[in-house]
Amino acid sequence: MTRVLGIETSCDETSAAVVDGAGDDVVLRSLVILSQDAHAVFGGVVPEIASRAHLTSIVPVVRRALEEASLGSDGLDAIAVTYTPGLVGALLVGVSYAKALAFATGRPLVPVHHLEGHLFAAALEHRDAIPPFTALLVSGGHTMVIDVAAWGDYRLLGATRDDAAGEAFDKVGKLLGLPYPGGRHVEALALQGVPGRYPFTRPMLRQNQRPGDADYFDVSFSGIKTAVLRAVEDGAHDAPADAAAGGGSASGQAQRHADIARGFQDAVIGTLVAKTARAARKYGRTRIVVGGGVACNRALAAALRREAAAFGATVFTPSPRLATDNAAMIARAGLFRLARGDVATLDLNAYATAGLPGLRAA
Amino acid sequence: MTAGPSGVPGADIGYMLVLEASTYQASVALVAGTRVIAEREVATGRAEHEHLMPAVAAVLDEAGVGVAALDRVVCGAGPGSFTSLRIAAALGKGLASAPGGPRLASVPSLLLIVAGAADRLAAGTYLASIDALRGERHAALVRLERGAGGAGGAGAGGGDGVRIVPASAARRLPEKVVGEWAREAGAMMIGPGCAIEAWPAAHGVLLLRDHVSDADLESWEPDYGRLAEAEVRRAAIAADRAGA
């Protein structure tokens, strides 16, 4: 069995984890995630503040992950670290720390692409969340539909042409006056909304789209964000049923915002589910794996399961702590990369963006 | 404490690995007693590859010294380049986190400018200074004294009786003001882009033994010399609101 320490510092979570195993028989020994709350007052992640916080968090976070795994760093077989994509200053803390620790302990250093980590996250909890499957990666920075024929063999089918799904949720949350990050608040507000009062167009989804069309699997969320802005600004004027919801009173506005949240969420989920189902059908996949922070959205998971059941597919979603940024998925992906001999030299750098290894165009 | 190499003066001091990266001209030095065992200079600006860690490995390899034999890993404490300081600090913390690894320590980076160039400087007062961007510079007055102590003597840290004495705290000031400060103090300006061109050099730690401070492995961070820009803007907004 191989024991791998994973380190993740790509954005505003400092995380470390230990996995133990071989092939797809892998056990998560520990996972520590320290989320930075300093960014809420700024309405978004401030890269320099995130980088500084990683530097003062990384030692205690790694130490605790090793303690929970009942290991010292000399008990590890390798150290895996996220090197891209993300905030370069933040990534550099994890990469630099991991390089030095790997050098000092004589262990191999395994560079891991953050998005590949998300592909592996569900497999830590669901034994059957393994290739071949259709992957929907939805986070604050990415929205991609990928066909995973095997680990390391990825075909990019579709991606966002502008905002990521999570980014759209956060921006709409801001438009509705909700705290940052807005994703979970929009979801909670949408539960109180009436379906259909704001029937926003499902972005980049047309009945006459055919496989081979450039937008068949792609998504776009900037348009719906603008539509939400207009709905919020126009208030009762654009909402036919608004009078029934209370008109211009304070409670009426609250209900209107809930209805807008519901309309927005239904439209985004409608598009994501349709595109993912198209991908699974086209490649004959019976497994669908969701990864990224938006995978925490229960309405998305429920809608995807309903759609997948129609053609006999099973949907796997990680629990929230494995859906959002975490080092367990980095350690798990690192275990795979280590087995392939993908180890880094000491000049490993961090990159804001870089291609996912093994990813090819459709 | 790990013993230094036999035959090296002041061997009881042990090996210190010094990582200085407050500017884009970083350096790594392995020192023991009063000697520099190995040293590398590294450019740390935007690049495809990161070169500081390979320099650490090269220095240790050249000296035939393993991480476990290090007594301390000393990071330049800043002020200076946010990212470069942090890379050095994260490397230092990684080395210090290894079982049996060295203790983490720090040394003020502006002192390393004068100490690193001491062999070509006369006794006197210097204003050590580096670019702080946005038309500002980090600066501190530093006195270089000669004949005040013997080789390896307490407080001297180096041979030939050279003594480096901080004469002010580090400050971040507009460029013009820094020049005025140097004139008023009768100090010669030294640093990258100054009348006396010199960079903070890791080997300068040999003259700064009294100024090497043990650092808490978990909580230590460099003195960045300024807040993050978002914090500055937020403070300005808060001040405006308070004044309104």
Contact call for B90 and A56, based on CB within 8 A: no
- Cross-chain Cβ contact A104/B67 below 8 Å: yes
Copy the structure tokens of residue A311: 């053609």
Convert the pLDDT of each residue in B173-228 to its tens digit.
999 999 999 999 999 999 999 999 999 999 999 999 999 999 999 999 999 999 88
The pLDDT tens digits along chain A (362 residues) read: 999 999 999 999 999 999 999 999 999 999 999 988 777 778 888 999 999 999 999 999 999 999 999 998 889 999 999 999 999 999 999 999 999 999 999 999 999 999 999 999 999 999 999 999 999 999 999 999 999 999 999 999 999 999 999 999 999 999 999 998 899 999 999 999 999 999 999 989 988 999 989 899 999 999 999 999 999 998 744 454 544 554 556 688 899 999 999 999 999 999 999 999 999 999 999 999 999 999 999 999 999 999 999 999 999 999 999 999 999 999 999 999 999 999 999 999 999 999 999 999 88
Secondary structure letter of residue A325 according to DSSP:
S
Pick the CATH number of A131-317 from 3.40.50.300, 2.60.40.3950, 3.40.50.720, 3.30.420.40: 3.30.420.40
- Distances A340 to A1, A22, A81, B235 between C-alpha atoms, Å: 15, 12, 16, 50
Region of A186 (left: φ > 0; alpha: ψ -120 to 50; beta: rest) is alpha
| Count of CB atoms situated within 10 Å of the CB of B126 | 28
Assess if residue B9 is contained within a domain. Answer: no
Report whether A225 contacts A166 (CB < 8 A): no
Higher pLDDT, A126 or B152: A126
Tokens representing B13 are 């001091």
- Site of tokens 């809608």: A303
Max Cα distance, chain A (Å): 69
Radius of gyration, alpha carbons of chain B = 18
* CB-based burial label for A53 (10 Å; 0-12, 13-18, 19+): buried
- Which one of B51, B219, B230 has the shortest CB-CB distance to A49? B230
Do the Cβ atoms of B47 and A73 come within 8 Å?
A: no
ipTM of the complex: 0.92
Residue B144 lies inside a defined structural domain of this protein: yes
Interface size A-B, in CB pairs within 8 Å, comes to 122
Tell me whether domains A2-119+322-361 and A131-317 share a fold: yes
Give residues with Cβ within 8 angstroms of A154, minimum separation 6: A119, A135, A146, A147, A148, A356, A358, A359, A360
Give the per-residue pLDDT at B148.
52
Q: Say yes or no: B61 contacts chain A, CB-CB below 8 A.
A: no
Q: How far is CA B142 from CA A47, B20, B123, in A?
A: 34, 18, 11
* Number of helical H runs and strand E runs in chain A: 10, 11
Q: Do A55 and B86 lie within an 8 Å CB cutoff?
A: yes
Of residues A37, A58, A13, A48, the one with CA closest to residue B227: A48
Q: What is the mean pLDDT of residues B19-30?
A: 97
Domain assignment present for B229: yes
Report yes or no on B31 lying in a domain. yes
Question: How many structural domains is chain B composed of?
Answer: 1
Are the Cβ atoms of A73 and B48 closer than 8 angstroms? no
When the candidates are 3.30.565.10, 3.30.420.40, 1.10.443.10, 3.20.20.80, the CATH number that belongs to A2-119+322-361 is 3.30.420.40
Put the strands of the sheet holding B70-76 in their side by side order: B35-43, B25-32, B15-20, B70-76, B103-107, B213-214
- For residue range B7-20, list pLDDT tens digits in order: 444 445 589 999 99
Asked whether the beta carbons of A285 and A314 are under 8 A apart, the reply is no
pLDDT confidence of residue B244: 67
Give me the pLDDT at residue B11, please. Answer: 46
B4 within a domain of the structure (yes/no): no
At position A41, the amino acid (one-letter code) is V
Please tell me which of the candidates A51, A73, A104 has its beta carbon nearest to residue B86: A51
Residue B2 lies in a domain: no
For residue B153, is pLDDT > 80?
Answer: no
- Output the CA–CA distances (angstroms, integers) from residue A61 to A21, A84, A195, in the order listed: 22, 20, 43
Chain B, nearest residue to A102 by Cα: B94
Say if the Cβ atoms of A56 and B82 lie within 8 Å: no
List Cβ neighbours of A27 (8 Å cut-off, separation of 6 or more): A19, A20, A21
Domain at B115, CATH number: 3.30.420.40
Which of A14, A36, A59 has the highest number of chain B CBs within 10 A, making it the mutation to test binding with B?
A59
B83 touches chain A (CB under 8 A): yes
Q: Which residues in A lie closer than 8 A to residue B94 (C-beta atoms)?
A: 96-104
Asked whether A34 and A54 are in contact (CB, 8 A), the reply is: no
Asked if the model's pLDDT at residue B163 lies above 50, the reply is yes
Length of chain B measured in residues: 244
If pLDDT is split at 50, 70 and 90, which confidence band does B45 have?
A: confident
Across the interface, do B86 and A349 touch by the CB < 8 Å criterion? no
Residue B5 lies in a domain: no
| Chain A interface, best mutation among B51, B53, B220, B233, by max A CB count within 10 A | B53
From A56, A74, A98, residue closest to B219, measured CB to CB: A56
How far from chain centre, in Å, is Cα A223?
21
Confidence of residue B160 (pLDDT cuts 50, 70, 90): low
* CA distance to partner chain A, nearest, from residue B174 (Å): 22
pLDDT at B5 over 70: no
Pairing of strands B213-214, B124-133: unpaired
In a domain, B75, yes or no: yes
A244: Cβ contacts below 8 Å, ≥ 6 apart: none
Domain that holds residue B91: 15-243
Q: Do A56 and B221 touch (CB under 8 A)?
A: yes
C-alpha distances (whole Å) from A260 to each of A171, A175, A217, B90, B142 are: 13, 10, 26, 45, 63
CB contact under 8 A, A97 and B93: yes
Interchain pair A74, B99: CB under 8 A? yes
Beta-bridge partner residues of A79: A5, A109
Nearest-angstrom CA–CA distance, A126 and A152: 19
Average pLDDT over residues B77-102: 97
Q: Looking up tokens 């629990």, which residue turns up?
A: A319
3-state DSSP assignment of residue A36: coil
Closest residue in B to A71 (Cα–Cα):
B99
**Cis? peptide before A318, omega within 30° of 0:** no
Domain coordinates of chain A in residue numbers?
A: 2-119+322-361, 131-317
Residues of chain A whose beta carbon is less than 8 angstroms from a beta carbon of chain B are 41-42, 46, 48-49, 51-52, 55-56, 58-60, 62-63, 72-74, 88-89, 92-105, 345-350
The reply to whether residue A349 touches residue B56, judged by beta carbons under 8 angstroms, is no
Q: Do B54 and A59 touch (CB under 8 A)?
A: no
